[in-house]
Amino acid sequence: MGDLLAAPAGTTLQLTVHAKACEGSKIEFLLDGKPTDVLPDQIINANDQSLHAAWPSDGQHHWLETDVIDSDGHLQLLGNPIYLNWSSPTGN
């Protein structure tokens, strides 16, 4: 988990999140640490499920994180960020 990824403006990232033993929870996508309407939350409906989303890149520096939130609103799994269009996580 976690990485650097080039995503030039105009490209669309196809995202897949595989969750096990998290039925009833939701995948929360965070862009630069905040929820985004472009990547809405998705409910995990099975004990072993892959969920898919697409994000259109603007070519700017961003970081994308996916977390699993349980039905009570508590963080269940914390994802490491993927840094988009950075040469390193610090931007250097």
Domain ranges of the chain: 3-84
User: What is the reported pLDDT for 1?
Assistant: 59
pTM value > 0.95: no
* Size (the chain), residues: 92
Q: State pLDDT tens for residues 30-66.
A: 999 999 999 999 999 999 999 999 999 999 999 999 9
**CATH architecture for residues 3-84:** Sandwich (2.60)
Quick one: CA dihedral 54, 90, 30, 10, positive or negative? negative
Quick one: CA dihedral 29, 6, 17, 50, positive or negative? positive
For every residue of 12-59, DSSP letters joined together read EEEEEEEEES-TT-EEEEEETTEEBTTB--EE--SSEEEEEEEEE--S
User: What is the reported pLDDT for 2?
Assistant: 73
